C-alpha cells in the first residue's frame, strides 16, 4: 500500500452506499468532494459528525462539493443508523455512506491505524478537487470530533487560491485579507489587485 500525499490522484473504487452502488470518480464527476471516514455506526461522536455534515449540505452545495462518508460497517447498519443521525443533527441523511466491510476503501486511503486500537477507521478527511487530485488530508483520533466549519473554510481557501495568484494567511476566514503570490512583483500586484500593502518584500497584503 502506497502512502497518499497532496497532489496525488485520489484512488478510484466501486462501492455500495446508502444511495446505491457508485464508481467514486464517476459519482463525483467534475465536482469537489470530501471523503471522510468514521470508526463505527451507532457511536456518539460519529453521530454528531454525520448530523453536522447533513445540516451543512447547502453550504457544501454552494461550493460544488459532494460529501461522502465511509466506515467498515455493513450497509444495513448505515440504513438503520440514519434515523439517529436525523434525530441528533436535525436533518435527514442527505449524502451517501459507503459500506466498506471488505476494507477496500479504508486500505486504499490508509484509514486504519493499528496503533489506535482495532480494525476500524480513524477520522480521516480527504478534500479532492474536480480533477480527482487530493488537496488536503486531515487525520483525527477516534476520540476527537472534526470541525466541519474548518473543512468549509479550507475549501473556500483552496477555491480562492486556485482562482487568484494569492495565498491565505494564518487564521484567514472568507472576506479577510490575503497574501500576494511571491511570484508577482509589487508593481504587477498593484496593477492586478489595485490596493496592495507591502510589509516586507515577500509579504504583501491585498483584498479580493
Domains along the chain with CATH numbers:
14-146 (3.40.30.10), 164-206 (3.30.1020.10)
Q: Residue 208 to residues 113, 132, 176, 177, 196: CA-CA distances in angstroms?
A: 41, 27, 8, 7, 11
Nearest by Cα to 185 from 161, 168, 165, 164? 165
Let me know if 46 is a catalytic residue. yes
Q: What is the dihedral of CA 130, 132, 138, 142, to 10 degrees?
A: 110
Question: Residue 9 in 3-state DSSP?
Answer: strand
Per residue of the chain (208 residues), give pLDDT as tens: 568 999 999 999 999 999 999 999 999 999 999 999 998 999 999 999 999 999 999 999 999 999 999 999 999 999 999 999 999 999 999 999 999 999 999 999 999 887 766 667 779 999 999 999 999 999 998 889 999 999 999 999 999 999 999 999 999 999 999 999 999 999 999 999 999 999 999 999 999 8
Instruction: Considering the candidates 15, 33, 46, 112, report the single residue annotated as catalytic.
Output: 46
SS3 readout for 80-115: HHHHHHHHHHCCCCCCCEEECCCCHHHHHCCCCCHH
- Torsion-angle region of residue 6: left (phi > 0), alpha (psi -120 to 50) or beta? beta
Amino acid at each position: 500500500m502506497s502512502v497518499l500525499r497532496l497532489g496525488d490522484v485520489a484512488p478510484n473504487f466501486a462501492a455500495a452506499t446508502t444511495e446505491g452502488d457508485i464508481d467514486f470518480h464517476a459519482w463525483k464527476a467534475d465536482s469537489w468532494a470530501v471523503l471522510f471516514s468514521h470508526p463505527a455506526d451507532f457511536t456518539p461522536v460519529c453521530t454528531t459528525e454525520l448530523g453536522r455534515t447533513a445540516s451543512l449540505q447547502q453550504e457544501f452545495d454552494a461550493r460544488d462539493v459532494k460529501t461522502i462518508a465511509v466506515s467498515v460497517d455493513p450497509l444495513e447498519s448505515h440504513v438503520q443508523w440514519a434515523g439517529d443521525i436525523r434525530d441528533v443533527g436535525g436533518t435527514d441523511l442527505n449524502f451517501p455512506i459507503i459500506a466498506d466491510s471488505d476494507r477496500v476503501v479504508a486500505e486504499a486511503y490508509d484509514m486504519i491505524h493499528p496503533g489506535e486500537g482495532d480494525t476500524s477507521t480513524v477520522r480521516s478527511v480527504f478534500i479532492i478537487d474536480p480533477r480527482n487530485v487530493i488537496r488536503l488530508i486531515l487525520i483525527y483520533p477516534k476520540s476527537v470530533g472534526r470541525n466541519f466549519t474548518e473543512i468549509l473554510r479550507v475549501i473556500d481557501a483552496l477555491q480562492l487560491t486556485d482562482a487568484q495568484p494569492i495565498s491565505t494567511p494564518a487564521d484567514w476566514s472568507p472576506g479577510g485579507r490575503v497574501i500576494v503570490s511571491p511570484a508577482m512583483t509589487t508593481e504587477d500586484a498593484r496593477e492586478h489587485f489595485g490596493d496592495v500593502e507591502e510589509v516586507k518584500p515577500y509579504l504583501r497584503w491585498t483584498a479580493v
